[in-house]
Chains A and B, each alone.
Chain A
Amino acid sequence: MTLSRQQAEQIFDRVLKYSTAEETEVMVSSSAFALTRFANNAIHQNVSEESTTLSVRVVTDGRMARASTNKLDEGSIREICEGVLALARLQPPDPELLRMPGPQTYRAVDRFVSETAELSPATRAATVASVIKRAEKSRLTAAGIFSSGGSAYGLFNSRGLAAFHEETLAEFSVTMLGREGSGWAKKTSPYWPELEPEELAERAAQKALHSKKPQDISPGKYTVILEPAAVLDLLFFLVLDFSGLAVHEQRSCLTGRVGEKVFGDNISLRDDVFHPSQMGAPFDGEGIPRQRVTIVEHGVARNLVYSRQTAHKMGTQPTGHGFPLPNEIGEAPLNIVMAGGRSSLDDMVKSTPKGLLVTRFWYIREVDPYRKILTGMTRDGTFWIEDGKARHGVKNLRFNQSVIEMLRQVEMLGQPQRTAGEESFEMVVPAMKIREFNFSSLTKY
């Protein structure tokens, strides 16, 4: 069970009793989470955890510090209040530090589903059993996870700000392994039956069966069709740069590019926590209401997102995207919704004389921070397309590709959908067909 709003407020009241700082902020987060893990067609790990963390931030004489604990007895709360104040006083003052914000108004979001919060290990096990049955039917080996849980997050400060959010999240990820090829599928949702684990298992199994005996191809530039999960993990590295502070500090690839046409006409991205397929709280780490922000409009880098502190520094208004203070990063858009098109994956494949279909990428890392060149590998279902048909699996390939260039070469877009990967947070993104995607080497396994 996670904490209720009332319980979180009670903890805040207890902190206020002991805090003598000029300003005090309390963040209470609690979660109850469970995960069933399977491999080799059996459950091999099965875990659960529950936790409640109290985090106190104080501002005093232009100085700030944070301390956190999961000990909630009276003595520990008094100790954390004294400790965090002492920590703040040991610092030089920051002339740009703002006072804490006062009361805010939030638009409600409903993301807590009790069926997910209460899901039992027996139900998770029975679901996994059905997925394993599907694997065994085709002599495949299944591996994956089925997780479920809830979290609650309260933010209160001594200037009267009070914010509370709770949500649930379930996740099913499955890899089907054949003798050589493999396939993967994944979905997340606040409501676990929407995961449709058996449908995911079928999709992963079909990919594994279709990719058996993967063949070598020469590295080079190819037309690629990226499924949404592959798009997601690449965009992750780009969207974090739409941070006001990152641009201010000249560590973003958007430095000097805001207001310019950076991507193709068909690329539009916004941050929208209220989108029905999105998740998360309607307020940021300082309690500022999250706003919808268009960050890319028809290829133009239109807007950045700003925390309150960054907005002050840059002479603009906060957008409600700040991380809890203190932090080095500032802010980031975490509820990305990309505009799409009407093409289906089938349309994309049929229109491709020669190319590759990519299920997902793996181990993506940034090679060049300003040109936004990324490297990584394909994984669990990469197929050679010829004359409008996915013909056979190919061995995994390494790419080195600028995401900025890539988004100038998008030929077709699919319908955006809530997408989960293994390297990024979830986004609402479409599949894409892209010309001249740069693959630099092939692996041997």
Chain B
Amino acid sequence: MKEFAGWALDTAKAQGASYADVRVVNLRQRYLSTKNGQPAQVRESESMGVGVRVVAEGGWGFAATDDLSRASIDRVAGYAVEIARASATVKKRGVRLATQPKVIDRWEAPCRIDPFSIPVSTVLELMLDVDRELRRVKGVTLAEVCMDFRRIEQLFLSTAGSEIAQVKTQTGAGFVATSFAEGEIQRRSYPNSFGGQYQTRGYELVGELDLLAHAPRIAEEAVALHKADQCPTGVKDIILEGSQVALQVHESIGHPIELDRVLGTEANFAGMSFLTLEKLGSLKYASDIVNVVADATPAHGPGLGTFAYDDEGVPAQSTPIIKDGLFVGYLTSRETAAAIRQARSGGAMRAEGWNRIPLIRMTNVSLLPGAGKLADLIADTDDGIYMETNRSWSIDDRRYNFQFGTEIGWEIRAGKKTRMLKNPSYGGMTTEFWNSCDAICGPEHWTLWGVPNCGKGQPMQTMGTGHGASPARFRKVQVGVAYAGN
């Protein structure tokens, strides 16, 4: 890898780049899925290539190839400089980057059990056992189980002299029971919807999830939802289960704090942010009990946003985002940090692969735990709804008006979880909602959830992000909004 990266760096410099960095990435993936008693997908893939990012004449250029011959790498590095020169013809000012001292390091994410070492037949056997448990429940019309393993090896070299090698192993697993009856489709997922749980670790995650043990309950709930009452429409207190809190953090805190959105560079696609610069340090984002960090450090846990260095070679950091309810930090890059006169980048630049340029992406944007048990929180609620597992999510292009649906809910009456509710939904405005948060459960409920499918950028990049969260209560929230009027 070092040889390829070195060629690219040398050529970029020789062609006139004032700054260049090169990433050589090798991604190996194994994806397995089953559906109604049969393997649905059994596939492996490997992709290796080099991406060269340069500044020339004050403009950005990037070129990538998977042809790793010397001639190809030289051509691509030269092309990156040509592209940068074209960018420079349509600039307001030259690229300025926050300083970053050179780093020479190697880091490998902890991985106790290599998922690629587990025989495919063993994994499929477990998946088909789960499938069987799901379909034992009468009324389940579709059982789906999936597992996803990735190993990402990356070498980063820059003209500043940095040389950083990183290896990450990621594992994802989950299942869904679908029930169609009487003109209605209901689904239940475990441990989360849209692929399950994902973390930067090995096959040990699969063991801890204990998929088989949860299959009967999830299947029964999917079927029972048909007979459940519709979620009422009105204003209620709600308690959100941890994975839904994690997605709420992702959409209504994680995205608006991306400084590139604030500064307008996502205006055509992902959108901008209501968190304009004057709000830093002054906006009461949330109630006093809310504390949020963007923490990429391994000490935070094995999230999908955990690394030792970002894709600009900046060390992983823990950045306070909301402190006692006050908005105090953005996710930044070297360029955006310089634009708001911060001395250094917060280290949030991440690229989907060798063929994509790094963008500001969430690392692990986590809601820190509060205190107390979920059971006590429910006991403390007179009239509310407990909602579990995301079903739909949508938020406006400034990240302010949001609406979420969950797979299942239960009414809370006089401190007790009572009747099951189907099609739960709630909506609101970001800061009003977070200021209505009056309870966050304790560390015993806190999980570092993975969102494997966050989309941003043009061309679109899909990124995995991490979000620590525990169940939380929000007062006087509009519920049942998704079905009102339909």
Contacts and interface: CB of A to CB of B under 8 A. Distances in A.
A68 B44 contact: yes
B47 A441 contact: no
By CB atoms of chain A within 10 A, which of B87, B121, B429 has the most? B87
Interface in A320-371: 326-328, 362-371
A158 interface: no
Interface stretch (A121-129, A159-167, A210-218, A223-231): A121-129
B295 to A, nearest CB: 27
B46 A71 contact: yes
Contacts of B119: 90
B282 interface: no
A94 B484 CA distance: 45
A363 B395 contact: yes
Interface in B79-134: 79-80, 82-84, 86-87, 89-92, 119-121, 124, 128
B271 interface: yes
B60 A46 contact: yes
A46 B396 contact: no
A132 B185 CA distance: 48
A445 B483 contact: no
Contacts of A269: none
Contact of A443 (B62, B76, B87, B401): B401
Given A143-B265, A328-B40, A396-B401, A365 B393 contact: yes
A250 B401 contact: no
A365 B193 CA distance: 14
Interface string A369-397: 11101011101000000000000000010
A138 interface: no
A87 B41 contact: no
B482 A367 contact: yes
A276 interface: no
B178 A251 contact: yes
A104 interface: no
Interface stretch (A50-58, A105-113, A294-302, A412-420): A50-58
A305 interface: no
B85 to A, nearest CB: 8
A51 B355 contact: yes
B264 A141 contact: yes
Nearest to A401: B486
* Contact count band on A: 35 or more
B46 A51 contact: no
A60 interface: no
B164 interface: no
B267 to A, nearest CB: 4
Main secondary structure of the interface of B (DSSP, over half): mixed
B397 A46 contact: no
Interface in A29-78: 33-53, 55, 64-71
Given A251-B180, A422-B269, A40 B396 contact: no
Contact of A48 (B64, B120, B265): B64
A71 B178 contact: no
A70 B89 contact: no
By CB atoms of chain A within 10 A, which of B45, B61, B397 has the most? B397
A428 to B, nearest CB: 23
Contact of A87 (B44, B268, B485): B44
Nearest to B181: A250
Contacts of A67: 43-45
B54 to A, nearest CB: 10
A172 B419 CA distance: 52
A51 B459 CA distance: 15
Contacts of A250: 141-142, 178, 180, 185
A291 interface: no
Interface in B14-46: 33, 35-36, 38-46
Contacts of B427: 398, 440-441
B459 A445 contact: no
Contact of B65 (A50, A120, A141, A371): A50
B228 to A, nearest CB: 14
A155 interface: no
Contacts of B185: 250-251, 368-370
A438 interface: yes
A81 B33 CA distance: 21
Contacts of A318: none
A71 B44 CA distance: 14
A400 B89 contact: no
Contacts of A328: 33, 35, 40-41, 144
Contacts of A92: 38-39, 124, 128
Given A35-B459, A368-B423, A396-B401, A125 B42 contact: no
A445 B396 contact: yes
Contact of A43 (B51, B67, B87, B355): B87
A41 B84 CA distance: 16
B405 interface: yes
A174 B268 contact: yes
A433 B48 CA distance: 49
Given A47-B357, A143-B268, A443 B396 contact: yes
Contact of A121 (B43, B86, B142, B144): B86
B82 to A, nearest CB: 6
A125 B87 CA distance: 7
By CB atoms of chain B within 10 A, which of A48, A126, A370, A422 has the most? A48
Interface string A133-147: 000000001011101
B396 A373 contact: no
By CB atoms of chain A within 10 A, which of B51, B59, B180, B356 has the most? B180
Contacts of A201: none
Interface string A424-445: 0000000000000010111111
Nearest to B28: A69
Nearest to A443: B401
Contacts of A33: 459
B59 A49 contact: no
B184 interface: yes
A64 B42 CA distance: 8
A212 to B, nearest CB: 16
Contacts of A143: 264-265, 267-268
Contacts of B403: 375, 398, 400, 440-441
Contacts of A65: 42-44
B479 interface: no
Contacts of A182: 267
Contacts of B393: 365
Nearest to B43: A66
Contacts of A365: 392-394
A3 to B, nearest CB: 11
Interface string B434-460: 000000000000000000000000110
Contacts of A83: 44
A84 interface: yes
A370 B43 contact: no
A188 interface: no
B344 interface: no
A128 B91 CA distance: 11
Interface in B260-296: 263-269, 271, 274
Given A43-B87, A400-B403, 12 more contacts: A39-B265, A46-B84, A47-B356, A91-B120, A145-B268, A173-B268, A177-B264, A362-B397, A363-B397, A367-B425, A440-B485, A444-B401
24 contacts: A40-B265, A43-B87, A44-B60, A45-B357, A46-B86, A47-B63, A49-B64, A65-B42, A70-B66, A91-B39, A91-B42, A96-B38, A182-B267, A249-B36, A249-B142, A250-B141, A256-B183, A327-B41, A362-B271, A365-B392, A368-B482, A370-B180, A396-B396, A443-B396
Give 4 closest A-B pairs by Cβ, nearest first: A250-B180, A443-B401, A121-B86, A143-B267
Interface of A: 33-53, 55, 64-71, 83-84, 87-88, 90-92, 94, 96, 120-122, 124-126, 128-129, 132, 141, 143-145, 147, 173-175, 177, 182, 184, 221, 249-251, 255-256, 326-328, 362-371, 373, 375-377, 379, 396, 398, 400-402, 405, 422, 438, 440-445
